[in-house]
Structure 1
Amino acid sequence: MVLDALRDLPPAPVLALAFLLPALEASTMLGVVFPGEVALLVAGAAAHAGGAPLWAVLVAGTAGAVLGDLAGYFVGRRWGHALLRRLPRRLVRPAAVERATALIRRRGGPAVFLGRFTALLRALVPGLAGMSGLPLRAFATWNAAGGLLWASGVVLLGYGAGAGLGVVEHRLGLASEVLLALVAAGAVVVWPRHRG
């Protein structure tokens, strides 16, 4: 049932989802609330079901991740401090922002690469890198490497999960049929006793 729904999705919305949510994650800080890997997992499962070619999902997800973080870098460079002041303190603590910015200043590109693999950092590190003065070339290089590895890994996990969905659906289908048969048998035994 889930695989049928994924199979019936046209490729265009699957690819748009795989591109847009990772792209919006850092460029609009949407990732603070809704991590982009959810879209990539679904798109990977849809690719397994035949809803979109796997190679296209990999390209769309990687492009969204890399370009979105590049936009986040420029947003952080231009408006980062003002935007951070507007975020709720429960989501982003000033002390944590200072530590992350200091880490980016000390470690540079490797901090950008590692930040890619944690949801909250993934949404904030590009902007913090722009705020910290990390050179664009260093950011772009490490961002591309992290984006490629992260997006490909998550899409492939979704693809593998799509294979597992078929097995789970089949087993759940068998279990529900057995349960229905037991309920029906129980009703056949109990119902005549209550009638008479």
Structure 2
Amino acid sequence: MSILEPKQLVESLGFWGGHLAIWTIIFAESGLLVGFFLPGDSLLFAAGFLASQGYLNIFALVIGCFVCAVVGDNVGYATGKRFGHKLFSREDSLFFHKNHIVKAQKFYEKHGTKTIVLARFLPVVRTFAPIVAGIGRMDYATFFRFNLIGGLVWTVGLSLLGFVLGKSIPDVDKYLLPITLVIVVISVVPSVLHLLKERKK
């Protein structure tokens, strides 16, 4: 079995297992410090594309991803509020670098509350933006409002983009494997390069 063959992969995970795997990744990238390297953007697009071919349920996909993204950001906010500046004294490791928080903080200082929406489309920053909001004690009601907006635009927008594209290409199932391979490469390579770059520092 090829792990790149969408039908076989979904069957091996089980129909809902595929959804659960995607939801877990979206939550981890949004709310866990170690999730910054996960490919949320391309994953949402690819999932929407696969849903257009019947491998996933688009409604369950979108709703689940939206909920996981919002809950994940709330976890990040709580982490920042609870541990605050202690995070800056934490030692760097393969999956954590203080400069990630610094970058997110600079972005936050420039864009204010809009950061919670804009950061959704910026790898690494989207993981640490809610943490910085928590450290800065952003009003929770304001944070939650922008969190809902950002989560909705990000998850629904990218998933539906992949879904519509998949529906608009004639006989797309013939090219599903190479398209999936390209998406996997685009998703994984930048993350690997980023980790290697950080490890050399």
Q: TM-score, normalised by structure 1?
A: 0.71
- Taking structure 1 as reference, are residues 160 and 68 closer, same or farther at Cα in structure 2, changes over 3 Å only? same
Gaps of 5+ in 1: 173-196
Quick one: percent identity of the two aligned structures?
A: 26
The equivalent residue for 1:189 is: none
Inter-partner Cα distance in structure 2 for 1:89 and 1:153: 31
1:139-166, Cα deviation, whole Å (9 max, x unpaired): 1000110011001122123324545552
Q: Which moved more, 1:54-63 or 1:72-81?
A: 72-81
State the SS of the aligned residue for 1:86.
coil
Inter-partner Cα distance in structure 2 for 1:93 and 1:71: 18
Residues 6-85 of structure 1 mapped to structure 2, 5 A cutoff: 8=11, 10-84=14-88, 85=90
Q: TM-score, normalised by structure 2?
A: 0.70
1:166 aligns with 2:173: yes
1:59, CA displacement in angstroms? 0.3
1:111 aligns with 2:115: yes
Residues 94-133 of structure 1 mapped to structure 2, 5 A cutoff: 94=99, 97-98=101-102, 100-101=104-105, 103-104=107-108, 107-133=111-137
1:93, CA displacement in angstroms? 5.2
Question: Is the contact between residue 76 and residue 126 of structure 1 (CA under 8 Å) also seen in structure 2?
Answer: yes
Count of residues paired in the alignment? 171
Inter-partner Cα distance in structure 1 for 2:134 and 2:40: 21
- Taking structure 1 as reference, are residues 101 and 81 closer, same or farther at Cα in structure 2, changes over 3 Å only? same
The one-letter amino acid of 1:168's match is Y
Inter-partner Cα distance in structure 1 for 2:178 and 2:114: 44
The equivalent residue for 2:5 is: 2
Inter-partner Cα distance in structure 1 for 2:103 and 2:141: 23
Question: Is the contact between residue 6 and residue 46 of structure 1 (CA under 8 Å) also seen in structure 2?
Answer: no
1:138 aligns with 2:145: no
Question: Is the contact between residue 19 and residue 56 of structure 2 (CA under 8 Å) also seen in structure 1?
Answer: yes
Residues 184-195 of structure 1 mapped to structure 2, 5 A cutoff: none
Structure index of larger Rg: 1
1:7, CA displacement in angstroms? 6.1
Gaps of 5+ in 2: 180-201
Inter-partner Cα distance in structure 1 for 2:95 and 2:130: 20
Give the RMSD, CA atoms, in angstroms: 3.1
Question: Is the contact between residue 7 and residue 50 of structure 1 (CA under 8 Å) also seen in structure 2?
Answer: no
Inter-partner Cα distance in structure 1 for 2:178 and 2:131: 46
